[in-house]
């Protein structure tokens, strides 16, 4: 089945130690998104790629970066994780057309020690 896959499902890192979360999709969608979701809060968009065009949200900290080497893969890099970065990180895709439906992966829960 076509889907959005996130690895790992759980990630533990140390304060200040760089960490990379990965996302892959078999939907061949143009657009890929990264969201941060803290406990009992709404998902918050960090950035998205429309094809190779990177779009950063104005309030996304510089500590967060992303790479999209090809259509199928997208990575979220956290350069120096702080305790406040502990959250669920959700990857999503869409075709970019007028329909607008986004397809979400299961998420990676990040714990910062």
- The whole-angstrom separation of Cα 98 and Cα 113 is 42
In the complex, minimum distance from the CB of residue 80 to another protein, in angstroms, rounded to a whole number = 26
- The whole-angstrom separation of Cα 5 and Cα 104 is 9
Options 12-20, 41-49, 60-68, 71-79: segment touching another protein (CB under 8 A): 41-49
Which of positions 81-100 make contact with another protein (CB under 8 A)? 88, 90, 92, 94, 96, 98-100
20-33 burial, b if ≥16 CB within 10 A, otherwise e? ebbbbbeeebbbbb
Contact flag: residue 101 with another protein (CB under 8 A): yes
Query: Do you find a cis peptide bond into 58, omega within 30 degrees of 0?
Result: no
For another protein, the binding residues (CB under 8 A) are 4, 6, 31, 33, 40-45, 48, 50, 88, 90, 92, 94, 96, 98-107, 109
């Amino acid at each position: 089945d076509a889907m959005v896959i996130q690895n790992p499902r759980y990630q533990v890192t140390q304060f200040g130690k760089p960490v990379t979360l990965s996302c892959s999709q078999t939907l061949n969608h143009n657009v890929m998104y990264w969201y941060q979701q803290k406990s009992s809060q709404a998902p918050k968009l960090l950035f998205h790629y429309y094809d190779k065009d990177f779009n950063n949200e104005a309030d996304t900290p510089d500590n967060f970066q992303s790479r999209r080497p090809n259509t199928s893969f997208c990575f979220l890099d956290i350069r120096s994780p702080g305790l406040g970065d502990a959250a669920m990180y959700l990857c999503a895709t869409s075709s970019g057309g007028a329909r607008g439906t986004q397809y979400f992966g299961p998420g990676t829960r990040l714990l910062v020690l």
